[in-house]
Structure 1
Amino acid sequence: MRILIVIDDYFNQSNGMCISTQRFVHEYKKMGQEVRVLSTGEKADYPVPELKINIPFIHGLIAKQGFHFAKPIRKTLIKAVTWADIIQIETPFPVSWRAAKLAKKQGKPVIGTFHIYPQNVTASVPFLNNRLGNWCFMLFFREKSFKNCDALQVPTAKVAKWLNQHHFKQKLFVVSNGISDKFINNSHKDKVGHPFTILCIGRFSHEKKQDTLFKAMQLAKHSSEIRLIFAGQGPLKKEYEKLAS
Structure 2
Amino acid sequence: MNIKNIYTTSPPPPRKFDYKLLVVLDQYDAENNGTTITARRLVSGLIKMGCNVRVISTGKKSEDKFTVNELKFPVFDKLIKSQGMMFAKPDADVLYEAIKWADLVHFVMPFFLSVKGLEIAQKLNKPHTAAFHVQPQNITYSIGLGKSKLANDFLYYLMKNSFYKHFRHIHCPTMFIANQIKEHGYDAETHVISNGVAEQFTYKKTAKPKEFENKFVILMIGRLSKEKRQEILIHAAAKSKYAEKIQLIFAGKGPQKRKYEKLSKHLKNKPIFTFCTQDELIKIISYSDLYVHTADAEIEAISCIEAFSCGLVPIIANSPQSATPQFALDERSLFIAGDADDLAKKIDYWLDNSDERKRQEIKYAEYGKEFAHDACLQKMILMFEKEIKEFTEKSLSIA
TM-score by length of 1: 0.92
Partner of 1:26: 44
Across the aligned residues of Structure 1 and Structure 2, the Cα RMSD in angstroms comes to: 1.9
2:57 to 28, 39, 43: 39
Normalising to structure 2: TM-score of the pair? 0.57
Q: Which runs of 5+ in 2 are unaligned?
A: 1-18, 266-399
Per-residue deviation, 1:125: 0.5
Contact 1:8 1:69 in 2 (8 A): yes
**Residue-by-residue CA offset, 1:180-223 (whole Å, 9 max, x unaligned):** 22212x633599x7522222111110011111111211221112
Count of residues paired in the alignment: 241
* Structure 1 range deviating more: 153-162 or 123-132: 123-132
**165-174 or 221-230, which deviates more:** 221-230
Amino acid at match of 1:37: V
| Equivalent residue runs for 1:146-185 within 5 Å | 146-184=164-202
**CA distance in structure 1 between the partners assigned to 2:199 and 2:127 by the alignment:** 30
Q: The residue matched to 1:182 in structure 2 has which SS?
A: coil
Deviation at 1:147, TM superposition (A): 3.0
Q: Is contact 2:47–2:53 with CA below 8 Å preserved after alignment?
A: yes
Q: 1:127 to 1:173 in 2, by over 3 A?
A: closer
Structure 1 residue 127: deviation in Å? Answer: 5.1
Between 1:218-227 and 1:77-86, the stretch displaced more is 218-227
Q: 1:125 aligns with which of 137, 143, 148?
A: 143
User: Counterparts of 2:45 and 2:81 in 1: how far apart (Å)?
Assistant: 31
Q: What corresponds to 2:249 in structure 1? A: 229
Gap regions ≥5 residues in structure 1: none
* TM-superposition CA deviations, 1:113-155 (whole Å, max 9, x none): 1111111111011257511111111111101122322211011
Match status 1:48 vs 2:68: yes
Q: 1:143 corresponds to which residue? A: 161
Q: In the alignment, residue 237 of structure 1 is paired with which amino acid?
A: K
Residues 42 and 189 (structure 1), Cα distance of their counterparts in 2 relative to 1, 3 Å cut: closer
Q: For the pair shown, which has the larger CA radius of gyration, 1 or 2?
A: 2
The one-letter code matched in structure 2 to 1:187 is K
Aligned to 2:114: 96
Q: Percent identity?
A: 37
**Contact conserved, 1:72 with 1:94, CA < 8 A, in 2?**
yes
